[in-house]
Structures are given as C-alpha cells and as structure tokens.
Amino acid sequence: MIVDDVQQAKQGTLRRIIVFPLTLLIVEFLAVGFVASLASALLTPFVDVDGVTGLLGALAVAGLAIAIYLACRRWIEWRANDELPPAAFLRDVPLGLLIGAGLFTLMTGIVALMSGIRVERVNGMGALWGMLAMAVTSGTIEEILFRGILLRHIESMLGTWAALLITSALFGAAHLANEGASLFAAFAIAMEAGILLGAAYLWTRRLWVPIGIHAAWNFTQGWVFSVPVSGGDAPEGLLATVREGPDWLTGGLFGLEASVIAMAVATGAGLLLLVRVVRQGGIRPPMWVKG
C-alpha cells in the first residue's frame, strides 16, 4: 500500500511537470515547428512551388501541422478540440478572410490617395498558386505557433496582457531576418499583426479567425497588389503596382506592412477587438493571482 502511494505521488508530480504551461509551450512549439519544416522539406522536390501541386503540398503541410497540434492537446494536455473545431470552420474562416483582405485593401487605398502607390496595369493570374500556397502555410502554421501555443501558454502563466505583449514582440522580432527588414518594420509587424491576430484569437478563443486574417492579409498584399510580403522581391500578382514616396508611407523594401498607414489601420482594428475582449470578460490574470 505504501509503495503504491509513493508511485502515485511520483506519477502525480511527473504529470504536473508535463502539463505545466512552460513545458507544454516548449514541447508543442518544437513538435509543430519540426514536423511542419520536415514535411515541407520532403515535399518541395516533388511539387511545383508556383503551380497547383505546390498549393496541394501547402494544404498537406498545413493539415499535418493542425493534426500534430491537436494530437498534443489531446494526448499531452488531455483537452478537447475547442480551438480548431470543424463546426466553426465555415463560419470563422470566411470572417477572418474578409477582415484580413478588407483591412489590407483599406490601408492600400489610403496609401494610394496619398500618392504612395499606383496601379500600372493588370497582369492577369500572375503567381496565383504560389501566393495561395504561401497564404495557407503562413496563416496556419504561424497562428498555431504564435497564438495557439505561445500566447495561450504564456497567458496561463503571466496573464493575458503580458502574453499579448510578449507574443507581439516575438512575432515582430521573427521578421527581422527577412530581406529588407528594419527595426521599424519589426515594430510595425509587432503592433499591427501581433495585436490584431492576438486579439482575434482572444475574441473567439479559436484559431480559425486569426488564420483567416493572416492568410488573407498575406494573399491580398502579395497577389492582388503585387507588394513584397514581409520583405523580399515583389511577386507577380493580379495588379502591377508601383510604390513611390517616403518609406514611412510605402514601407520601403519590406513592403506596405512597414508603412505607418498599415500600422495605424491594423493596430486600430486590433484595439477595437481588444475592447470587445475586455467587455466579454476575456482577460485572464497571471497564474499566481488564480492561486
């Protein structure tokens, strides 16, 4: 009887260590990141990254990332699938797509009115499949990593406000290695995307809406307006555009995401969502306040 009690105590201690938020954060982040990276590397030689097969490969990688995340929640956390429920897909994803595309189009329209961007011609289909593939993988995988894992577990330890601040800063810093990046570009990403996407997750406590916002934002800037997506070369999209003027308006080499206008529009939308989160009682205290 004493031996059984000791074994149960050891098992209880081990279980508490495993389900501690910091442990879960590390294990789940590494699991999803590693599997998604490995799957992408293995598929790349067999698909045309700019063709339909590239999109199919992106859907497969995104689906695998979701499966690994849900497996971690089910078998490690012992939690039900309340963040990516299939029943909410057809409601939440279109809403997120509408918000993401609408915000980027609004911001681009304001920049155009200020003579910061103009349309030269219509390209046609352009790099449609490649942009769709990029939108699917970036939207799905990055939202699982930054909102589903980092924000959720940091919130469990430090509370909602600290989690939102930390994950926004990390999301901005993650873009510093991109071509054309600058400290201001990273700050802009932290403000506009970190706050908006974090607030979208806190609003519903599901990942479908932020995934939709993230995917649509990237797709709209890359394919519709042919603007660099977080740095790099400008893709060949639907519209051939030219950006002219100071970097604070056009975003410079990084793209319109580093524009003051983008930061104002997206951050403003994120703050409006945060007001809704506060009003619905979605702000959680640090773990020591919970006792």
Q: Per residue in 165-204, pLDDT tens?
A: 999 999 999 999 999 899 999 999 999 999 999 999 999 9
Q: Give the mean model confidence (pLDDT) for residues 53-77.
A: 96
With a cut of 70, say whether residue 42 has pLDDT above it.
Answer: yes
In this structure, what are the phi and psi dihedrals at residue 261, rounded to the nearest 5 degrees?
-65, -45
Contact 212, 142 (CB under 8 A): no
Which residue is associated with the tokens 């595309």?
101
Please say if the pLDDT value at position 3 is more than 50.
no
Give the chain's mean pLDDT.
93
pLDDT of amino acid 192: 94
Orientation of helix 208-219 relative to helix 128-143, angle to 10°: 150
pLDDT-derived band at 226 (thresholds 50, 70, 90) equals: very high
Copy the structure tokens of residue 165: 């601040």
Model confidence pLDDT, tens digit, residues 102-144:
999 999 999 999 999 999 999 888 899 999 999 999 999 999 9
Alpha carbon dihedral 278, 202, 158, 13, in 10-degree steps, equals 130
* pLDDT score at 193: 94
The domain spans of the chain are 85-290
Residue 240's CB: how many other CB atoms inside 10 A? 17
